[in-house]
Structure 1
Amino acid sequence: METIKLRISGMTCEHCAQTVGKALSAVSGVVGARVSYEEGSAQVEAKNAVDAGLLVRAVKAKGYGAEVSRSTDTAARRVGDSPLHIAIIGGGSAAFACAIRAVEEGARVTLIENGTLGGTCVNVGCVPSKIMIRGAHIVHEAQHHAFDGIGKAAPALDRRRMLAQQQARVDELRQAKYQGILDANPGITLVRGRARFKAPHVLEVRRNDGAVREIRADRVLVATGASPAVLPIPGLKETPFWTSTEALVADAIPQHLIVLGGSVVGLELGQAFARLGARVTVFELLDRLLPIEDEEISQGLREALEAEGIEVHTGFKTESVAHRNGRFEIAGNGKTFTGERLLVATGRRPNTADLGLEAIGVKTLGNGAIEVNERLETNVPGVYAAGDCTSHPQFVYVAAAGGTRAAINMNGGEAALDLAAIPAVVFTDPQVATAGLNERSARKRGIAVETRVLTLDNVPRALANFDTRGFIKLVADAGTGRLLGAQVLAPEAGEIIQTAVLAIRYGMTVGALANEIFPYLVMAEGLKLCAQTFTKDVK
């Protein structure tokens, strides 16, 4: 006999628990099942031949989420009398999420990292960029708010003090979220050095002092992240250009910043620098900003940025870059532009080049991204990958979710990474937030859809804020009314989108969303109002 414990999500009452219990009991080989709605868990007594994946699928077939949390059958989690040994290459979000969960499952973990713990997000990505963006927002609002009777003035600006506060918070979070976890968890051993595969379960680790050691493991997770990609533009590499890493620690605001790249990083940082006093010019190769988003999003954001004085050039092919007499020269489309600083924001490339993946046969895409399935497995047994080094969306929360699920699967559990309703946020102002399918991607899949767009001048909270820039767009299945996707352009879009994520993930129709009770006045009410426009005029 075997006891299998599962985490169950989506239950809202005891009836849900009964439904899950019946579904589990119906699986061949199950002797009994106890489900707790309050704890969000299930405990299954089963014959040893029962596949935990069948239990997970049985629960999901009833519309609930499930993942294996622990099994008393330790054959998959132990080798002989020793705990399963998991080696993790990397020290960021995916790596730590995997390490923490693996230790909880009873494994022993060796984490190999050569650089600063914490990866991109806490050190040179999400955290410092959002601090800088928020500071720039305060500066902008002081001068451009919409309220009568309140004076407008440019605040005194000390970039060095701003930077010191920013980096202090980065250090604080790195200590709390990463180093502190290592200090408190004896099941995780940190090894400093660069790892390379000698065989699927054998790593060679070279330390900075030249010493080499070999690490053998039962499972290996590759979680090496990604780095700024630099296009092969003639002359570029010979210049002192910035990537996002250098831009975030710049202790002075340039007079004129040129940005190559009209997507997330370029637009977020470009607007922040503009609000802190720089003249900003953005060049994008394709014909619109944020080219993967709906055209309405691209156009609406462009108009907002240009209204703040940011110069935007789309369809611009950069032919060469030079740096002379302290200024950058950007040539393209028959013209030359000059500026004091250059930010190259042309995407990120997975850090997989020197890992020996080709030697053990791990499949990668053209940009070096590791191919994985929904269980985070590569094509090589026992080798997993998670985070920005894979082909998954490069978000810290996707990396963490992938790391956790990889650990569960390494230990004999069953956990799939479902990205169908994953949220994405661009932290410009107005923000861009999306979830699920947009109209173009839905039609490309052959789905007949209905869409509605509600401009923010129809949302009471936006009117009260005297800021009606943007809109909410919903995409629904034309036959069933099921919500398939949401796209939001709004000053607080990131705070709105998770409501849409839950509606999409749990199969709500636009009719059901329209009938929900929302607080008043909140921006998220715009989702309800937009849903109502499928059947009536809310203006």
Structure 2
Amino acid sequence: MPDRTTPDFDLAVIGSGGGAFAAAIRATNLGKRVLMIERSTVGGTCVNTGCVPSKALLAAAEARHIAGDSGRFPGISTSAAPVDMPGLIDGKRSLVETMRSDKYVDLIAEYGWEVHQGNAVFTGTQDDPVLEITGANGVSESIRAAHYLVATGSTPWAPPVQGLADVHYLTSTTAMELEEVPESLLVLGGGYVALEQAQLFARLGSKVTMLVRSRLASAEEPEASRTLAGVFADEGIRVVRRAIMSSVHTDPATGGVVATATVSGGEQEFRAARLLVATGRRPVTGGLNLAGVGVKTRDGGEILVNNRLNSSNERIWAAGDVTGHREFVYVAASHGTLVVENAFNQAGREVDYRHLPRVTFTSPALAAVGMTDRQSNEAGIRCECRVLPLEYVPRALVNRDVRGFIKIVADADTGRIVGITAVAKDAGDLAAAGVYILEAGMTVDQVANLWSPYLTMAEGIKIAAQSYKTDVSKLSCCAS
């Protein structure tokens, strides 16, 4: 018979990122005994190597770019000096350390859950799973919990390219630690990480070339891809589409990289000082012995979960990137809270991504919520769309930057808005507003007649809605 010893903890969490902390906080507030296991640095990807450091560097790069681009404002003339990369990286590290301390480490003491530093592996059986934790000193301990949460995140993934393993290529993690700006940079990928990193290094002074399998931001509206391609071209970033890298090696003469790629059926060679591989991420689940306790995974290592985030073992749950779901820290955090509610309160809550906002922090930014034009058609919705160029948005005119658009996708039969996409300054805020619009089931007519403060980018959503029935080129900018 399996050992039914009283559990040592109510919840054992493997990992210490956004999903892990959300779960630990909620469980502790419910009076549960919580253990968190972390084998590396507390805080996970977001604060240590992802959102916080990358957006801090993007903000710095934008400040430099604005200095060099100030000529768009009459009467203003500034210039951008070379980048002190060690100073920039030191500032980034200081910010990361502060946020890690304030938002993660200090909270552990405040809430009072236990943290064990070490590597966790499942042992026992499916009916009686046990965690064996081995510390850096080699000492092991076994713990039992009523419920387990796997929130170990993901790590950058590189495709099987000949010679890639022998090249000192960069990832989104290692690129954040460079002590000098590469003279030239070859970026493999066209997703959100590739887009952000390409523009970041271009604005810091690198000559950037992107090798993209299909198009930029291929999961989003084609208008977004075309707009960003134009922005990148203006900033000197070369985008090579329909490109598949076949091999890469180090140039012995320069120490740089030489890559061969198939481009539209023919082979081309690309040279750069450094190579950045930004082709996605894969879950960190290897070595956990999930199969040994009856937890099923996909070929890529993703833990198979139901809509309530329960794995094939009813006592083991998963949250965040390890599920293979959308890789956003706010998704992981939502997962963590949902798991605790389902595990201890039998809430029966299910994940719902219908109105999930998504943001790529380029400049201008790309943001969206709900369905694209294509997705709505695939869902059987007869849609009617409007694309509003930013030249009709007063805020964009004041900013003297009309690169971008706002697109609304609406059900042609009911007028209900099912999707909003924008490429614009502060587009993420537009997507946030769009969440409430979609959640409320609002129609184009309703949004067109709502109050909206003048000279905000969000006013563009109202104008885009008005464009369904009005020639917005004939609206007064101050009395729309």
Normalising by the smaller structure, the TM-score range is over 0.9
2:217 corresponds to 1:290: yes
Give me the whole-angstrom Cα distance separating, in 1, the residues matched to 2:445 and 2:353.
24
Aligned with 2:308 (options 366, 375, 396): 375
Report the equivalent of 1:207.
Answer: 135
Q: Which amino acid aligns with 1:163?
A: I
Q: 1:272 to 1:82 in 2, by over 3 A?
A: closer
2:216 touches 2:225 (CA, 8 Å); kept in 1?
yes
The number of residues matched between the two structures is 459
Report the equivalent of 1:5.
Answer: none
Q: Which amino acid aligns with 1:394?
A: E
1:396, distance to aligned residue in structure 2 (A): 0.3
1:156, distance to aligned residue in structure 2 (A): 4.6
Report the equivalent of 1:320.
Answer: 247
2:408 touches 2:417 (CA, 8 Å); kept in 1?
yes
Give me the whole-angstrom Cα distance separating, in 2, the residues matched to 1:261 and 1:389.
21
Aligned with 1:182 (options 108, 114, 125): 108
Instruction: Describe how 1:513-524 pairs up with structure 2 within 5 A.
Output: 513-524=447-458
Report the equivalent of 1:252.
Answer: 180
2:426 corresponds to 1:498: no
What SS does structure 2 have at the residue aligned with 1:202?
strand
Deviations 1:48-69 (A, max 9, x none): xxxxxxxxxxxxxxxxxxxxxx
Give me the whole-angstrom Cα distance separating, in 1, the residues matched to 2:455 and 2:273.
44
Report the equivalent of 2:464.
Answer: 530
1:257 touches 1:342 (CA, 8 Å); kept in 2?
yes
* Overall identity of the aligned pairs, in %: 42
Report the equivalent of 1:419.
Answer: 353
Aligned with 2:389 (options 450, 455, 464): 455
1:372 touches 1:385 (CA, 8 Å); kept in 2?
yes
Q: Which amino acid aligns with 2:259?
A: I
1:84 touches 1:106 (CA, 8 Å); kept in 2?
no
Report the equivalent of 2:163.
Answer: 235
Q: Which amino acid aligns with 1:328?
A: V
Give me the whole-angstrom Cα distance separating, in 1, the residues matched to 2:115 and 2:393.
51
1:300, distance to aligned residue in structure 2 (A): 1.1
Deviations 1:243-275 (A, max 9, x none): 011101111001001111111111101111101
1:80, distance to aligned residue in structure 2 (A): 11
Give me the whole-angstrom Cα distance separating, in 1, the residues matched to 2:81 and 2:459.
34
Q: 1:142 to 1:221 in 2, by over 3 A?
A: same
2:111 corresponds to 1:168: no
Which piece of structure 1 moves more, 493-502 or 193-202? 193-202
Deviations 1:444-480 (A, max 9, x none): 1111111111000000111111110000001111111
Q: 1:413 to 1:506 in 2, by over 3 A?
A: farther
Report the equivalent of 1:263.
Answer: 191
1:469 touches 1:491 (CA, 8 Å); kept in 2?
no
Q: Which amino acid aligns with 1:359?
A: G
Report the equivalent of 1:466.
Answer: 400
Deviations 1:205-242 (A, max 9, x none): 12222222111110000000000001111110111111
Report the equivalent of 2:261.
Answer: 332
Deviations 1:319-372 (A, max 9, x none): 101013311010112221111111110100011121111222222222111122
Report the equivalent of 1:152.
Answer: 78
Give me the whole-angstrom Cα distance separating, in 1, the residues matched to 2:158 and 2:430.
34
**Aligned Cα root-mean-square deviation (Å):** 1.5
Report the equivalent of 2:297.
Answer: 364
Q: Which amino acid aligns with 1:150?
A: I
Aligned with 2:151 (options 191, 203, 223): 223
What SS does structure 2 have at the residue aligned with 1:218?
strand
1:105 touches 1:408 (CA, 8 Å); kept in 2?
no
Q: Which amino acid aligns with 1:218?
A: A
1:204, distance to aligned residue in structure 2 (A): 1.5
Give me the whole-angstrom Cα distance separating, in 2, the residues matched to 1:413 and 1:100.
18
2:211 touches 2:243 (CA, 8 Å); kept in 1?
yes
Aligned with 1:140 (options 56, 65, 69): 65
1:312, distance to aligned residue in structure 2 (A): 0.7
1:143, distance to aligned residue in structure 2 (A): 0.9
Give me the whole-angstrom Cα distance separating, in 2, the residues matched to 1:371 and 1:151.
56
Give me the whole-angstrom Cα distance separating, in 1, the residues matched to 2:328 and 2:360.
11
Gaps of 5+ in 2: 474-480
Q: Which amino acid aligns with 2:249?
A: A
Q: Which amino acid aligns with 1:327?
A: G
Aligned with 1:309 (options 211, 236, 240): 236
1:416, distance to aligned residue in structure 2 (A): 2.7
Which piece of structure 1 moves more, 191-200 or 447-456? 191-200
Give me the whole-angstrom Cα distance separating, in 2, the residues matched to 1:346 and 1:106.
42
1:399, distance to aligned residue in structure 2 (A): 0.4
1:421 touches 1:504 (CA, 8 Å); kept in 2?
yes
1:90 touches 1:225 (CA, 8 Å); kept in 2?
yes
What SS does structure 2 have at the residue aligned with 1:389?
helix
Q: Which amino acid aligns with 1:500?
A: G
1:81, distance to aligned residue in structure 2 (A): 9.5
2:355 touches 2:369 (CA, 8 Å); kept in 1?
yes
2:295 touches 2:311 (CA, 8 Å); kept in 1?
yes
Instruction: Describe how 1:50-65 pairs up with structure 2 within 5 A.
Output: none
Report the equivalent of 1:429.
Answer: 363
Give me the whole-angstrom Cα distance separating, in 2, the residues matched to 1:402 and 1:524.
29
1:83 touches 1:107 (CA, 8 Å); kept in 2?
no
With normalisation by structure 2, the TM-score equals: 0.93
Give me the whole-angstrom Cα distance separating, in 1, the residues matched to 2:306 and 2:470.
43
1:136 touches 1:276 (CA, 8 Å); kept in 2?
yes
1:228 touches 1:243 (CA, 8 Å); kept in 2?
yes
What SS does structure 2 have at the residue aligned with 1:388?
helix
